[in-house]
């Protein structure tokens, strides 16, 4: 699975959009981009995933560049409860021999400030 690079930390003002970048320049054509977050002392929470099209759900939007070498997770109106570590993971979602295990990096610690 391709490696990802994320900034170690970011701040965001409450009510503003939080834009979290992820670089995955070695991504291959069949690899998906997944985002999870982990609020302190809790298990990781799935946010969103995509292959090449932009995706949106009730939690966030995922913007993937046309060359797929980077992506941005957007939390449109950040609240204090969005303070967490955000992980960007790239993974193949095909193949009977693929166990689907996740390989986490260090993630980005997002601090939402009042």
- Token pair for 93: 């979602």
Cβ-based nearer residue to another protein, 72 or 109: 109
Q: Mask: binding to another protein, 26-65, rule CB under 8 A, as x and -?
A: ------x-x-x----xxxxxx--x----------------
CB 10 → another protein: shortest distance, Å?
17
Residue closer to another protein by CB (options 14, 49) is: 49
Give the dihedral sign, CA 61/74/21/112: negative
CB within 8 Å of 10: residues ≥ 6 apart: 18, 20, 108, 109, 110, 111
Six-digit token pair at 99? 């166990």
Residue 100 is a binding residue for another protein (CB under 8 A): yes
Q: Residue 106 interacts with another protein (CB under 8 A)? A: yes
Asked if 53 and 82 count as a contact pair (C-beta separation under 8 A), the reply is no
Interface residue list for another protein (CB under 8 A): 32, 34, 36, 41-46, 49, 85, 87, 91, 93, 99-107
């Amino acid at each position: 699975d391709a490696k990802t690079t994320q900034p170690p930390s970011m701040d965001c003002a409450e009510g503003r959009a939080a834009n979290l970048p992820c670089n995955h320049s070695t991504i291959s054509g069949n690899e998906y981009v997944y985002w999870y977050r982990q609020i302190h002392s809790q298990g990781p929470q799935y946010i969103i995933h995509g292959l090449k099209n932009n995706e949106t759900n009730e939690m966030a939007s995922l913007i993937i560049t046309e060359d797929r070498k980077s992506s941005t997770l957007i939390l449109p109106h950040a609240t204090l409860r969005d303070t967490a570590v955000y992980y960007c993971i790239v993974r193949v979602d095909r193949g009977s021999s693929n166990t689907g295990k996740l390989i986490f990096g260090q993630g980005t610690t997002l601090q939402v400030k009042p």
